[in-house]
Amino acid sequence: MSTPESPQTDDTDAIPADGYAWPTATVDPVDRMRALAAALPHVALDETRFEVSFDRLWSFIADLEGNTKRFEGTVKDLRILSREGDSIRLEAKTPAGIWMNFDTVLRPGWCLMRSRYGQVGMAARPEGPDACRFLHFEGSSVLGRITRPYFAWNIRQDFRRLRELL
């Protein structure tokens, strides 16, 4: 018999660890980005389904220097300043000619861009071989919630341009 002073050491009463292991769960990039955006009250978020493969969509999105200015209405030009693994430092030029620096994380299905003035998030996941779900958010922490309608409109325009380009 065991007492608090002398714990039981007989292995016959031990609880098998594998029977009580924590379950594992995975969250895809779209759901992760949606959760992140929920914590940012100043961003507008929208998502859509594209009838193209995930690889086609994401290779287009991941070419930040070549394609961002082609579909993102608030970017006139973009230059990568440095890259280390999936961390990228870049600068983007607005249509008004203002350059903004962004710290960016770019991974398959995930792009998060943060600057002093705003945040941008894009995420995608496959929905079969020839379709994918795409989520996009934009907002300005400096300008706040008042600009959400503008960013919501801009995201819808981004989706329209992406459909044309893909």
The pLDDT value recorded for residue 7 is 54
Residue 12, pLDDT score:
60
Among residues 61, 104, 97, 57, the alpha carbon closest in space to that of 77 is found at 97
**What's the confidence (pLDDT) of residue 22?**
75
C-alpha distances (whole Å) from 88 to each of 51, 79, 92, 121 are 29, 10, 12, 14
Give the residue with greater pLDDT, 8 vs 102: 102
Is residue 108 within 8 Å of 58, Cβ to Cβ? yes
pLDDT tens profile 95-123: 999 999 999 999 999 999 999 989 999 99
Q: What is the pLDDT of residue 142?
A: 83
What Rg value do the Cα atoms of the chain yield, rounded? 22
Instruction: Measure the CA dihedral 139/141/147/152, to 10°.
Output: 20
